[in-house]
Amino acid sequence: MKCRILEKGAELYFRYGVRAVTMDTIATELGISKKTIYQHFPDKDAMVYQVLESFIQNDQCKWEDLNKSSKDVIHKTLLSLEIMKTTLSEMNPRLMFEVKKYFPKAYDLFTKYKEDCIMNSLKVDLKTGIEQGYFRPEIEVELIARLRMGEVDLSFDPNFYSHSKLSFFDTQQILLDHFMRGILTEKGLSLYLSYQNNN
């Protein structure tokens, strides 16, 4: 039952954000009593925390698979767009903003994940790309990785995307394309464009 509640919670939070979805909504959707939910989760804070925790676990698995299935760092970046497409098509863009504002403990978990896993993985990819001649050797790896993380955060900021007529996914795609062009060498750019043309 705990797994079913978590799955439903994740589904509803992703679609409508964490604010609009109450414990009542989740109970009604599952056809169970609120009491049953509270047997597994003492409060909404715990619920949001655990939903985010399993989201992170899933996300980690996806990135590990990506490392195996990609031919090189440029290919990996383009494949990562596919993951983002699936995730973002289900996600209310306000979600992370609301978690940050109303569930700081859960947000800390996410921040730690970004710092420990995503940031490190980005740095490894940047270094690999430089070694392979795809990324410019003069790149400041730490700063550029942090810039990329900052861009993703920025894209989730309502002040940023509310001005845009583009879909959330299109926005991500344009930001990633701009980011990549900013780091690619000539050799890297040809490979990048050849992957894009094959899609």
Binding site residues, its own copies, CB under 8 A: 140, 142-144, 146-147, 150-151, 154, 157, 160, 163-166, 171, 174-175, 178-183
Q: How far is the CB of 62 from its own copies (least distance, A)?
A: 26
Q: How far is the CB of 139 from its own copies (least distance, A)?
A: 8
Please say which residue, 7 or 104, places its beta carbon nearer to its own copies: 104
Euclidean distance between CA atoms 56 and 52, whole angstroms:
6
Q: Give the pair of three-digit tokens for residue 140.
A: 């400041």
Please say which residue, 99 or 180, places its beta carbon nearer to its own copies: 180
Q: How far is the CB of 177 from its own copies (least distance, A)?
A: 8
Please say which residue, 40 or 123, places its beta carbon nearer to its own copies: 123
Q: How far is the CB of 108 from its own copies (least distance, A)?
A: 13
Q: Give the pair of three-digit tokens for residue 131.
A: 């070694």
Please say which residue, 21 or 176, places its beta carbon nearer to its own copies: 176
Euclidean distance between CA atoms 58 and 62, whole angstroms:
6
Q: Give the pair of three-digit tokens for residue 90.
A: 């289900």
Please say which residue, 102 or 160, places its beta carbon nearer to its own copies: 160
Q: How far is the CB of 18 from its own copies (least distance, A)?
A: 22
Contacts of the segment 70-77: beta carbons below 8 A, 24+ positions apart: 72/132, 72/134, 72/191, 73/125, 73/126, 73/128, 73/129, 73/132, 73/134, 73/135, 74/129, 74/134, 74/180, 74/184, 74/188, 74/191, 74/192, 74/195, 75/195, 76/125, 77/125, 77/176, 77/180
